Structure 1
Amino acid sequence: MQIQVVKSKIHRVKVTGADLNYIGSITIDEALMEASNLVEGEKVAIVNINNGERLETYVIKGNRNSGEITLNGPAARKVQKGDIIIIIAYGILDFEEAKTFKPALVFPNENDNSLT
């Protein structure tokens, strides 16, 4: 049997922008992507702490150490600049492997989205 488990999580990061006219996705600072083991194009779930919205989209790489977290396209209607969100990616593992798997969990500074 295979099950879905949390693979990666960026916990409580601040939205720095919302671009309705972009084609879609979430732009994430490259350093945050690496720390959380996310890759460009990967499907992620977004949970908005401020308004309870939940959505799915895919990741695009932002500038390293920029702190950028921008929701693009239709997702921009679900957030506002300054909202606090959680970004979650899931993986599919065999049941036994899932028992010992350790996800990449990142807790950035909420003020500037830095890793320090």
Structure 2
Amino acid sequence: MNGKYRKLLAAKIHRATVTAADVDYEGSVTIPPELLEAACIHPYESIHVWNTTRGTRLETYAIAGLKGSNDICANGAAAHLIRPGDKVILAAYTMMPEDDVQSHRPLLIFVNEANRVVRSGPEVPGPQRRNATKGY
């Protein structure tokens, strides 16, 4: 072991649909506890939010919503960058020894329009996707 650590993607919830935005709340993104559990993201854990609708990115923390709910709510300042109906990717990172990097595989959770898990597993690199947009 060489003592060096790398920051790698630990998990992501892919293309969740934002259902609410509350600029007056203190901060965070509210996520259903079932999705947090599926992605092994803990309440109050730091998360990155990539808004695929608007192209914005931010870092905040996750809080658990109501069990059985499908609500994804941008709270506080995040509500200025994320609006209801937007598609977002919610990602958590981990630090790990460089010796473990080659064997690491992040936990990827894919959800439907109702923010319900439809599958987990590896993502397909962009150019290999059948419906990838060409010409950028």
Fold shared, TM-score > 0.5 on shorter chain: yes
CA distances 1:50-69 after superposition (whole Å, capped 9, x unpaired)? 11000000010011231111
* 2:64 pairs with 1:61: yes
How many pairs are equivalent?
A: 115
Given that 1:65 and 1:114 are in contact with CA atoms closer than 8 Å, whether structure 2 keeps it comes out as no
| CA RMSD of superposed structures (Å) | 0.8
2:97 matched to which residue of 1? 94
1:40 paired residue number: 43
Give the SS at the match of 1:79. Answer: coil
Identity %: 37
- For 1:71, what is the secondary structure of its paired residue? strand
Distance in 2 between residues matched to 1:8 and 1:79, nearest whole Å? 20
1:12 paired with 2:15, answer yes
Structure 2 CA distance for aligned equivalents of residues 113 and 19 of structure 1: 19
Q: Which amino acid aligns with 2:114?
A: D
Distance in 1, Cα, partners of 2:75 & 2:65:
12
Match of 1:21, as an amino acid?
A: D
Q: Structure 2 regions of 5+ residues with no counterpart?
A: 119-136
More displaced, 5-14 or 63-72? Answer: 63-72
The aligned runs of 1:22-37 (5 Å cut-off) are 22-37=25-40
CA distance in 1, matches of 2:117, 2:12: 13
SS at 2:83's partner residue?
coil
Which residue number in structure 2 is paired with residue 83 of structure 1? 86
Note if contact 1:6-1:89 (Cα within 8 Å) is conserved in structure 2.
yes
Which segments of 5 or more consecutive residues in structure 1 lack a partner in the other structure?
none
* CA deviation vs aligned residue, 1:79-98 (integer Å, no higher than 9, x gap): 11000000111100001112
